[in-house]
Chain A
Amino acid sequence: MNTSFPWLSFFTAIPVIGAIITLLAGRRRNSARWIAVVFGAISLVGVLCLWHGFDASSGALQFEERHVWVPVLNIEYRLAIDGLGLLMLLLSAIVTLLGMGASWKISDRVPLYYALVLLLEACLFGAFTALNFVHWFTFWELSLVPAFFLIKLWGGTRRSTAATQFLVYTMVGSVAMLLTFLALYLGTGQFDFTALAQLAQSGSLMPQTFAALHIQHFTLHGFGMLLFAGAFLGFAVKVPIMPFHTWLPEAYSEAPSGTTALLTGAMSKMGLYGFLRVLLPIFGVQMQSAHTLLLWMAAITIVSSGFAALAQKDLKRIFAYSSINHLAYCLLAIFAVAGAGGLNPANVAQQQAALSGVLFQMFNHGLTAATIFWFIALIESRSDGLRGLRDFGGLRKVAPVFAGLMGIALFSSLGLPGLNGFVGEFLIFRGSFPLAIAATSVAVLGLLLTAMFILNVIQHVFAGPLAPQWSSFPDLSRNERMALAPAIALMFLLGLVPQLILGPLHGTIIAMVQQLKF
């Protein structure tokens, strides 16, 4: 691939163009859907081309674009990806298509809906490629706009509250993060992630900022922790980690299922991406000193969200908590990695395994959760919007293919070996356990809880006697099967050949662990 061409900007622009054309479709609903899908597919192909041109053995940033933007404030337009960015682009492209598929039955203001979905994809692409804070933050905030309207305009009965809560909650976190980065800027004159990370590794970031700001009543350590807390809050709300998660069950269950697929599949990864791209390299020292607290927060999130999922009666709320649960494994691993620091070479293998697990789990969760919400959308469209755990029963009798394919997605979420979910969880536990024995041992309970609520769903929805009102519940149509088949096939493929994802990432993983110099 020609590296001088601005590929990343180009691929970020494609969904925007797609969104505009989709809007032009006017009242022709089906054309709007198909135009959006075509643009989604073009984006996916584009990302696959990037994947092909990506140098796997190098952990360096690639496809870089760098231009002066606002020279007075030292703001640059800087885009580049490493394995992490690339993986997130791929995931966003896939999840966008899944989300579009899951939204197929939406019949109200279709062009606008699909245009917003494409806009969201563009924001995700922007956020996963930007390396300058200002530029990145713009996309980070901008992504809330399509998400907000997708919930607000197409959501359930309490959609307004849910949308506002979602927006404001995230904004509060963002404001805290903004403050932190303004402080860093005032101290160092830098908005660039790489430059800040280098300063942090040389140990001069915090002293420099501290000195420049003349802060009184604070020790250097306390000041560093305060800045860390600000940045942490922004990402912690997004992932989320308990207790910053209360917006999530509401937003996920009120949003239309197709949108929930996007929120959980792709947007939640923005938070984890921030942990890996921003917090770990720039605030590594602070993360290390807070790691005990953070580890236990992650462990409690895992267990508590698992129990909360058990108590839910609404399929979407169950899988909302399931999302919290699955992503908290990633957090656990990140905190374990940070806690171990970078000075002990004996930990390197563990840290590499944990981070490999995190990246793989991020991808898997996106794929699996989005697919599950697609299935929930199909259930809703077949039952006039019902989605209670106890509303169904015995559906396997009349819809065996439906039950079988959704069962595969559910077992992927459960972490069954042979499907994609297992490898990520295994690597996370294998890496975290020796670094944080106690917290990981508690967190392992989450694996049991996941199995409990997922088997509960299968038992209540698909098994048991068939309720008479569902005797004509339609099985998956030919088209639906064809549409879902790639997602299901990918689950098997990644479960059996994880090298497809982990191979191209190994250079990045090595570089990420080398970065830990505290």
Chain B
Amino acid sequence: MTNTPWIVRYLWLIPALPLLAGGLIALAKQRHRSFAAAAAIGSMVVAFLLSIAAFLEALGHPDVKQFFNVPWFQVGSDVLKLGWMLDPLTAVMLVMVTLVGTLIFIYSTGYMHEDENFARFFCFLALFAGAMLGVVLSNSLLLLFMCWEIMGLTSYLLIGFWFFKPSAAAAAKKAFLVTRIGDLGFFLGMSWLYAHTGTLLFYDGGAGCLEHSAIASLVAHTTAFGWPLATMITLLLFCGAVGKSGQLPLHVWLPDAMEGPTPVSALIHAATMVAAGVFLMARIYPIASAHALPMPELTPTLALEVVTWAGALTAVFGSLCAVAQFDVKRILAYSTVAQLGYMMMGIGVGGVSVGMFHLITHAFFKALLFLGAGSVIHGCDGEQDIRKMGGLRGYMKITFYAYAAGTLALCGFPLFSGFWSKDEILGAAFVWSISRIPFYLGAFGALLTAFYMTRQIAYVFAGPLRLSQSEMAVAIHATHHDGADHKRHPHESPLVMIVPLILLAFFAVFLGFAGTAAWPWFQSFLDGGSATLSFAAFTHALPLMLVSIALVFLGIGIGWAIYHRRRITVAAEADRLQQAQPQLFALLQNAFYIEPFYRATLVKLSDFLAVLADLFDRFLWGGLVKVVSMITVGIAHLDSFIDSNGINAGFDEGCEVVSSGGKLGSMLEAGRVQGYLRAIGAALIVLGAFLLWTIGRRA
């Protein structure tokens, strides 16, 4: 380890700095607002610079996994180690998280300016960033899981940041619990992996659980259903990823998570944390993709098949739901669900680099969209209903252009970043050897994406303003600047919020060129090779690209035709789709009624079991105890009756005491006390009898 580069040895500083900042802010007083913001942003900037250094180091050795392990504690004769690592996957995630994080932190100083818990907000944000960075660079599944859970905690705290709103408190609890359902699988998978391989370190000079010998043993070992252990463990870990990344059927928490302040939605519930599930699958890809026998590359394993189907179904599901939402943030939330589905599908059909490319581009354009939405909400004094917006292009120009860039990236408009990354996934799905259905699902999702984003733009930025004076939302912000100077029309956000938007927009537009079909630099970097410029590859991918371009234009066209050709003029007007297909619209609006279904089944079941357990306790077990004590008392009486009729004089006296105790007890008819006293008496009799008997035997 002596020749480990300094940046690898000190990689732990990257998560430690924000964590430290979070700790300091927690100890500081609430009114030290600028200290809080400065500490959080400062730590993120330093972390960003260190990440760049780490990135450059990884750039030099894209094909090596550099790691640094340290002992944590002793378990009997064993030592449990944790560690951190650097490879291209870690490097790109580090840069993305610190960069997006820094921008969102800066934006938050503007967005949260009025909030009385400003310092607390930055404390949680910094803790979150630390935890997320920990997930990204840990070289141990255990350390990853620990950071993963802390990330879950900060997500809980931030969704419930406005804890005095019951809806926020409920949403926070829901998010924590639903993700924890998935984490149970993660936990079991981790225990199993540890038990089988004896380590949770990913890389450890040949002894790690992602290295050759461990994987060989994982695929050789067969468990239930004849599955190799590798499949079983991947699926258990995937449960965790499903929870965290909002995949079907554990997606229900993510739309509700929008109760949190918008920067939180941007950073945690769009760009970074929710992508951690995808990252996890990328990290354990060596296990997920391992076959017992040598197979051609990218032959899907059962585990990857499951990942693909879950992703493809989620992609369509999320897109469909996004079509029928009215809350500007919920549209984006369902869109996030769908895009996470694409990423999962990308990992399943095309491997790490395909899924990860979309993760990175999505992080930038979705952060941009959320921050744009935040700017819109801020400008409209807390209004989130798109029906009441409209015409905002005129009031907030920069926000509009930034938002438009994000929208085009998300739709996969040619040359924008999302175009390249989504295309890559569809291309891989097209040649998937199991089935072509995921491709069709993905393509349909792409069409829907273009459609719902156009609908949103039409509602928010085009047409006339429908925000009426009387209906100005009385939300969080309104309470802070009520008074005579209350601005009664939408306004552009302050510079501190606009600059991050512009920077993010830049990445949303241009980042895709790092991984085009002609020059797949990003993908080659992640796969540990070097990219070559090849127009042959580009022309090969061209037909499919044209199909997806056609889908995007079709989606935008339909959206434009429905929502913009005839302007939306009144806020009360029902959605055009709703007018045409009310039942279908309701189905989509309620997200296929999955949540009411859970409420009616799982939640009811859990409530029922709780009541049952309580009743069991009070009546069954309590009753049994009563019965037992009564029986004992009965026997005691019988005994005393027999004894008093004179078998053993010495014994008689002892029983006299007991039965008089019993009579005393029976006078206190009220409580249970008597039963127990008698039980003691009976036990004493049994004891005495036993002793007499055994002594008699010996004699």
B-binding residues in A (CB < 8 A)? 160-161, 164-165, 168-169, 171-172, 175-176, 178-179, 182-183, 186, 212-214, 242-243, 245-246, 249, 304-308, 310-312, 348-350, 352-353, 355-356, 394, 396-397, 400, 404, 411, 416-418, 422-423, 426-427, 429-430, 433-434, 440-441, 444-445, 447-448, 451-452, 455-456, 458-459, 462-466, 497-499, 502-503, 506, 509-510, 513
Docked-complex contact B164 and A394, CB < 8 angstroms: yes
Contacts of B690 in A (CB 8 A): 179, 182
Instruction: Give the residue of B163, B622, B683 whose beta carbon is less than 8 angstroms from that of A464.
Output: B163
Q: List 16 additional contacts besides A417-B145, A463-B172; criterion CB under 8 Å.
A: A161-B671, A161-B672, A172-B679, A182-B691, A214-B697, A311-B613, A352-B76, A353-B75, A404-B26, A416-B153, A423-B73, A447-B187, A448-B180, A452-B177, A459-B173, A499-B73
Docked-complex contact A456 and B616, CB < 8 angstroms: no
Docked-complex contact A499 and B606, CB < 8 angstroms: no
Write out, one digit per residue, whether chain B residues 435-463 have a CB within 8 A of any chain A CB (1) or not (0). 00000000000000000000000000000
The count of residues in chain B whose C-beta lies closer than 8 Å to any C-beta of chain A is: 70
User: How many Å from the CB of A325 to the closest CB on chain B?
Assistant: 11
Contacts of A349 in B (CB 8 A): 75-76, 78, 198
Q: Which of chain B's residues has its CB closest to A465's CB?
A: B164
User: How many Å from the CB of B161 to the closest CB on chain A?
Assistant: 11
Segment at the A interface, from B98-106, B188-196, B265-273, B551-559: B188-196
A186 to B697: give the CA distance in the assembly, Å: 11
Docked-complex contact A466 and B164, CB < 8 angstroms: yes
User: How many Å from the CB of A405 to the closest CB on chain B?
Assistant: 11
User: How many Å from the CB of B5 to the closest CB on chain A?
Assistant: 26
User: How many Å from the CB of A505 to the closest CB on chain B?
Assistant: 8
Docked-complex contact A179 and B687, CB < 8 angstroms: yes
Q: A169-B676, A311-B613, A417-B149 are in contact. Are A434 and B192 (CB under 8 A)?
A: yes
Contacts of A444 in B (CB 8 A): 184, 187-188
A159 to B677: give the CA distance in the assembly, Å: 17
Q: A417-B150, A448-B180, A506-B76 are in contact. Are A172 and B683 (CB under 8 A)?
A: yes
Docked-complex contact B153 and A311, CB < 8 angstroms: no
Q: A396-B163, A464-B166 are in contact. Are A427 and B673 (CB under 8 A)?
A: no
User: How many Å from the CB of A398 to the closest CB on chain B?
Assistant: 11
Kindly list the 4 A-B residue pairs having the minimum CB-CB distance in the complex, ordered from nearest. A352-B76, A168-B676, A417-B146, A463-B169
Docked-complex contact B680 and A304, CB < 8 angstroms: no
A178 to B686: give the CA distance in the assembly, Å: 12
- Judged by a CB distance under 8 angstroms, whether B561 is at the interface is no
Write out, one digit per residue, whether chain B residues 474-518 have a CB within 8 A of any chain A CB (1) or not (0). 000000000000000000000000000000000000000000000
Instruction: Give the residue of A213, A242, A429 whose beta carbon is less than 8 angstroms from that of B621.
Output: A242
Docked-complex contact B188 and A441, CB < 8 angstroms: yes
- Judged by a CB distance under 8 angstroms, whether B38 is at the interface is no
Contacts of A396 in B (CB 8 A): 163
- Jot down 17 A-B pairs with beta carbons below 8 A, ordered by A: A160-B673, A161-B671, A165-B672, A213-B697, A307-B606, A307-B614, A308-B614, A352-B75, A404-B26, A422-B146, A427-B75, A434-B195, A444-B184, A464-B166, A499-B73, A502-B75, A510-B77
User: How many Å from the CB of A117 to the closest CB on chain B?
Assistant: 25
Q: Which of chain B's residues has its CB closest to A501's CB?
A: B73
Instruction: Give the residue of A307, A430, A502 whose beta carbon is less than 8 angstroms from that of B73.
Output: A502
Contacts of B77 in A (CB 8 A): 348, 352, 506, 510
Q: A161-B673, A169-B676, A456-B173 are in contact. Are A509 and B76 (CB under 8 A)?
A: yes
Contacts of A503 in B (CB 8 A): 73-74
- Judged by a CB distance under 8 angstroms, whether B638 is at the interface is no
Instruction: Give the residue of B163, B195, B617, B687 whose beta carbon is less than 8 angstroms from that of A175.
Output: B687
Instruction: Give the residue of B72, B611, B614, B616 whose beta carbon is less than 8 angstroms from that of A498.
Output: B72
Docked-complex contact B195 and A172, CB < 8 angstroms: no
Instruction: Give the residue of A306, A451, A499 whose beta carbon is less than 8 angstroms from that of B177.
Output: A451
A502 to B606: give the CA distance in the assembly, Å: 37
Docked-complex contact B621 and A245, CB < 8 angstroms: yes
User: How many Å from the CB of B72 to the closest CB on chain A?
Assistant: 7
Q: A352-B76, A451-B180 are in contact. Are A463 and B613 (CB under 8 A)?
A: no
Interface residues of B in 173-187 (CB under 8 A from A): 173, 176-177, 180-181, 184, 187
Docked-complex contact A172 and B680, CB < 8 angstroms: yes
Interface residues of B in 592-645 (CB under 8 A from A): 606-607, 609-614, 616-617, 621-622, 624-625
A95 to B420: give the CA distance in the assembly, Å: 61
Docked-complex contact B146 and A246, CB < 8 angstroms: no
Docked-complex contact B676 and A308, CB < 8 angstroms: no
Docked-complex contact A397 and B188, CB < 8 angstroms: no
Docked-complex contact A429 and B163, CB < 8 angstroms: no
Instruction: Give the residue of B176, B177, B617, B687 whose beta carbon is less than 8 angstroms from that of A308.
Output: B617
User: How many Å from the CB of B551 to the closest CB on chain A?
Assistant: 41
Q: A169-B676, A352-B78 are in contact. Are A455 and B177 (CB under 8 A)?
A: yes
